[in-house]
Amino acid sequence: MRAVIVAAFVAFALTMALTPLAAKLFRRLKAGQPIRSDGPQTHLAKAGTPTMGGVVFIFTTVLAYVAGHLVLMALPENIDGVTFNRPTGFTATGIVLIGLFVTCGFVGFIDDWLKIRRKHSGGISGRAKVFGLTIAATIFGILAVYYTGSIDSREISETVATPYLSFTRDIGEIPLTKIGMVILIVLLVNATANGVNLTDGLDGLATGASMMAFVAFVIIGFWEYRHWCGGAQPADNLCYDVRDPLEIALIAGAAAGAMFGFLWWNTSPAQIFMGDSGSLSLGALIAGLAFASKTILLLPILGALFVITTASVMIQVTSFKLTGRRVFRMSPIQHHFELGENRWSEVTIVVRFWIIAGICTALALGFFFADFLRIAG
């Protein structure tokens, strides 16, 4: 747990220190966020706010992950007569999750850069964005499903992801095949990345919601580590057959710490936006943590705010195409509450949506631990 705490603190401290410096640099480079003219009129005042803040917390998360591993290498393997199975080197899980995080962030960076260069809110096309995310998800999905590596120098080997659906652990009765799992990972990464991207419309909204998701994965990952099968065949149904659970907690902790630090500067009024480089990378990492921790079907509950936001856009588009009428004043749904006679302030919307995200995160953790108690009982 010490390595997770160190990683979270390093990410927090670095992000707190580097974000304002990045904001000043981007402002000098005139890397300001173009604002949609057809969006809420109150957002026009945000024009010119530095964007691409995601570059900062991607960088600090990776550094914090490395720092966490340095702590793991320094800790003794035997403490008070108890031997701990933990990764001291970089693992397949780390490579897959960090690789997915960085490459999807690069897709978003291209989108942000084009927006700044063109001085227009339209970056790369939607199809190009999906193509980029699909390529990244396919590469790391294949690694997750097909690549095996030894655990702590033992002969036992397993992959990051297995060809089964999962809720709090694998559902063995529902096989997907390895190709099917790669396809599911691609769909999951695209859906979650775009969900976070659509949620990132108000100051601090996506940052706070993502932070809650990462904290949840810290808890899930560390619990799985404390009840880990250790790469062996499960002796009972209580242990979790996950490849590198401590690695999951470590990466999630680093990301959560980075979000805490970034939120200081991203909360209303935001001094910097995360941009697509931030939102796409966060969504991809959340999806990656779900398949690595074998909580795929738990993800829609944990990330329900992202699901609601995406659903509001789909409902709006479908309704307008079929009937010519709009269900919401504007989509995504957070903008609906900014318009109309009883409009909510931006801060009110953000806080209330955070409450929704917090309730859904707590509900997901409740399901996770309820399943453990069910098996234990």
User: Which residues sit in the known binding site?
Assistant: 197, 276
Q: Cα torsion at 39, 190, 192, 226 (round to 10°)?
A: -160
Annotated binding site for Mg(2+): 197, 276
Residue at 344: amino acid letter:
W
Q: How far is residue 221's CA from residue 364's CA, in Å, rounded to a whole number? A: 14
**Can you say how many angstroms the Cα of residue 352 is from the centroid of all Cα atoms in its chain?**
20
Q: How far is residue 117's CA from residue 113's CA, in Å, rounded to a whole number? A: 6
